[in-house]
Amino acid sequence: MIGITVVFLGLYLWFTTFPGRPAGDAYRYFTEGDIVSARAYASASRMVSAINFSVELSFLIWFTMGTAGRYLSDWCEKVAGRYTLSILLYFFILWVILRIINLPFSLYSGYFLQKQWGFSTQTLMSWWMDYIKSAALDLVLSATGVILLFFAVNRWPGTWHITAWAFISLWLVVQTFLWPILVEPLFNKFEAAKDPQIIAMVKELADKAGIPVNQVLIMDASRRTTKANAYFTGIGRIKRIVLYDTLLKDYPEDEVRAVIAHEMGHWRQGHIVKGLLESSLGILIMLLILHTFMKIDIHFNGSYPPYLWAYLTLFFVLASYIANPIYNYESRRMETEADRISVMLTEDPNSVIKLQVDLAKRNLSDMSPPLFIEWFAYTHPSTMHRIEMVEKIKPPSE
């Protein structure tokens, strides 16, 4: 696994450093200045991400394969006294170390780089508040997961992976319902759309798509960024679409309509449910591999010691990185389906194309990245691939 990860990382760094020329068609929609700026911003973001991952991975390999991880485990067992407390102490120390490693990269990419390119509207204090809230949430959820995982591994050594898979799958479903209600309001304010044009637009598109929409919410994204976006949440009867206030402020009505139609496309195709099922399947495969690996390579007498968590952390980091192309391929496929539905609902392919061009220009998206970068890291098709798809389904009269 380490070998495959190193190969992927090496290719990612190579194509980040030497991205090559963009597709020739890009010049039909973008100027040389647009392309150069987008490439510069994308290269900086990718390089920070790659270096961050390299440092984190190097530490985990050293910590896990060397004596440091076991030494810390023995110390935690001695200091904590109780098994559960020793697990929590070990997890917490490793969590803090990884946070410290990642912090400079998060601060640079999430704040200073965004300020440098004119995207961030946050103060440094505001960024820190977001970071602290996010870290606290991650700590609580991760600690709970670690305790449950160790309980399952020790209680059902032969079938723990099935138990863990069932619990995680259930959590994914619960999270889909609760995250928009309990977590998202910690970071942003949401207000029901009041503009009658937006409400009428959503109703018209929802009727055409055959989808009941419960809520159209406006998120105060402008307090953090100038970038525009939208997303959809909810399964079953509870469905809501969230629009960034920057989208409504900076984009014309026909492009906002194309965005809403795109989100309707996700609903119509059942992408949330499909995403949950596919994530659940991916987690099951990952846990099956981990279970096999633990039976072959990791042997303990009695309960698993705290330093098992170091092995598991390294495994999850490697497995997630290797699985990136699979998850991202499926995500791009869903985005393409939503784009097709958007064209069908709006009956206005030119506005869909215009939206992609404006989004790329305003967000400095790399409109034509190296094919490997798109294949490995992109959750959405690149701008030019999205435009090419729409052009293929435009009526001849267009």
Run means of pLDDT, 10 residues per run, the chain, 398 residues: 94 95 89 94 97 97 93 93 92 97 97 95 95 95 91 85 90 82 88 89 88 86 91 73 92 93 90 90 91 68 80 94 96 95 93 95 94 96 95 66
| Cα–Cα distance measured from residue 265 to residue 208, given in angstroms and rounded to the nearest whole number | 11
What local confidence, expressed as pLDDT, does residue 237 receive? 65
Q: Which residues are catalytic?
A: 263, 339
List of residues 6+ apart from 290 with CB closer than 8 A: 161, 312, 315, 319
Report whether 221 contacts 246 (CB < 8 A).
yes
Phi and psi, residue 191, nearest 5°: -130, 145
Residue 216's DSSP bridge partners are 241
Report whether 45 contacts 378 (CB < 8 A).
no
Q: Tell whether residue 380 is among the known ligand binding residues.
A: no
Q: Tell whether residue 262 is among the known ligand binding residues.
A: yes
Q: Tell whether residue 161 is among the known ligand binding residues.
A: no
What local confidence, expressed as pLDDT, does residue 374 receive? 96
